Amino acid sequence: MDRITLTSILAGVITIGLVEAIRIALCAALTPGGNEADND
């Protein structure tokens, strides 16, 4: 049970990490300049 639980938690963390990474990548791709535009 412990191994299954740890695997499930690890899979969840990895999935969330991938989703967040994809969202950040999409936002960066859809908005040229991004935060650097604010520095101007």
pLDDT tens-digit readout, 3-39: 999 999 999 999 999 999 999 999 988 887 655 655 5
For residue 31, the model assigns a pLDDT of 84
Q: What type of residue sits at position 16?
A: I
Tell me how far apart the alpha carbons of residues 19 and 33 are, in angstroms, rounded to a whole number.
22
For residue 21, the model assigns a pLDDT of 96
Output the six-digit token pair for 4: 């299954």
For residue 7, the model assigns a pLDDT of 96
Q: CB–CB of 7/13 below 8 Å?
A: no
Output the six-digit token pair for 9: 């938690």
pTM comes to 0.57
Q: CB–CB of 27/33 below 8 Å?
A: no
For residue 9, the model assigns a pLDDT of 96
Tell me how far apart the alpha carbons of residues 33 and 20 are, in angstroms, rounded to a whole number.
19
For residue 16, the model assigns a pLDDT of 97
